Structure 1
Amino acid sequence: MKLSSAKAMLAAAQAEAERLGVTVCISILDAAAWPVAFIRMDGAPLGVIDVANKKARTAVLFHMNSADFAKIGHPSGEAYTLENTNGGLTSFGGGLVLKTSEGTVIGSIGVSGACTEDDIAIAHIAANTLLA
């Protein structure tokens, strides 16, 4: 994950959050789950910092979006309590795995602070900058 790509994603995500009238935290990680870029919009609650990071970690460590991870991590899922591994993960939407057009994982983005649907939408807008 290049810093220039991460900055473009942050800008797109922040613009979409502002358009929606929400304040969020946005975390972008590389393929090894190390931080590349992060912002906390003015007014975003402190608690969502960790949630945005965990959404991004979940996506990159398991090569699946955090909303998909939720399908296996819920109480009747095949991997209930899996979110307690790897220093803590999360099993709800807003974390997207980022891949090249060839399918190589290059990192992830996690968005938190709005409703889950808005977090997911903001993350998708940001991820789309990689295709531009």
Structure 2
Amino acid sequence: MHTVYRLTLEDALVVLRAAEQEAERIGVRQTICIADDGAHPIALHRMTGARLTGVEIAMAKAFTAAGHQRDTHKFNEPPDGPALPGNEAFGISHMHPGRFAVFVGGFPIVYEEQVIGAVGVSGGNGDQDKAVGAAALAAFRHRVAAVGAPTA
């Protein structure tokens, strides 16, 4: 047996706000999804003017990052990204149709070496999505330092 940590809504809202602030700072309209360890959305926000398609995409990125416990862009990073043609997971994006994303914008939230959730970001280019995701993860680390562990 082991202790399982869970994101709370309060945790998710802190992460969401930080992501939104970074998106505003860099001038991109994003959709941001915070999911729990089971890849289910806890919080979702489509910024004013963000693409309508961003909702499903952000949710898919969070689903993939939480469920597969890795940054989504790592599936396609050359030369050995597992989802690249000829590699072991080529075609994995066809699993869970519409819910599995293998491009930039999904980031696991990790605490005590456990993936306890994920952030999915959609609306910018790869660098913008990474910047917004990094701000979200930094906010989570700051929250843990300030208030302690997520709910056990």
| TM-score grouping bracket, smaller chain normalisation | over 0.9
Q: Which runs of 4+ in 1 moved over 6 A?
A: none
The residue aligned with 1:81 is 91
1:97 Cα offset (Å) = 0.7
When the two chains are superposed, the root-mean-square deviation of aligned CA atoms in Å is 1.0
Q: Is the Cα contact below 8 Å between 1:74 and 1:91 reproduced in 2?
A: no
Q: Read off the aligned partner of 1:56 and give its amino acid letter.
A: A
Structure 1 residues not aligned, in runs of 5+:
none
Higher alpha-carbon deviation: 74-83 or 108-117: 74-83
Q: What is the alpha-carbon distance in structure 2 between the residues aligned to residue 90 and residue 77 of structure 1?
A: 17
Whether the 8 Å contact between 2:62 and 2:118 is mirrored in structure 1 is yes
Whether the 8 Å contact between 1:13 and 1:126 is mirrored in structure 2 is: yes
Using the TM superposition, give the Cα deviation of residue 76 of structure 1 relative to its aligned residue in structure 2, in angstroms: 3.1
Q: Report if the CA contact (8 A) 1:25-1:111 is conserved.
A: yes
2:25 maps to 19
Q: TM-score w.r.t. structure 1 length?
A: 0.94
State the distance in 2 between where 1:58 and 1:47 align: 17
**Equivalent of residue 105 in structure 2, options 94, 103, 112:** 94
Larger radius of gyration: 2
The alignment partner of 1:23 has SS state of: coil
| More helix as a share of residues | 1
Aligned residues: 131
Q: Secondary structure at 1:131's aligned position in 2?
A: helix
- Corresponding residue for 1:45? 51
Q: Contact between 1:57 and 1:89, CA under 8 Å: does it hold in 2?
A: yes
In structure 1, the partner of 2:145 is: none
Could you tell me which residue of structure 1 aligns to residue 123 of structure 2? 113
**1:9 lines up with 2:5 in the alignment:** no
Counterpart of 1:36 in structure 2 is: 42
| Structure 1 counterpart of 2:122, one-letter code | S
1:86 CA displacement: 2.3
Answer yes or no: is the 8 Å Cα contact 2:61–2:105 preserved in 1: yes
Distance in 2 between residues matched to 1:75 and 1:50, nearest whole Å: 25
TM-score by length of 2: 0.82
Residue 111 of structure 1: CA displacement?
0.3
Q: Is the 8 A contact 2:93 2:101 kept in 1?
A: yes
Matched-pair contact (CA < 8 Å) for 2:11–2:140: yes
**Contact between 1:22 and 1:113, CA under 8 Å: does it hold in 2?**
yes
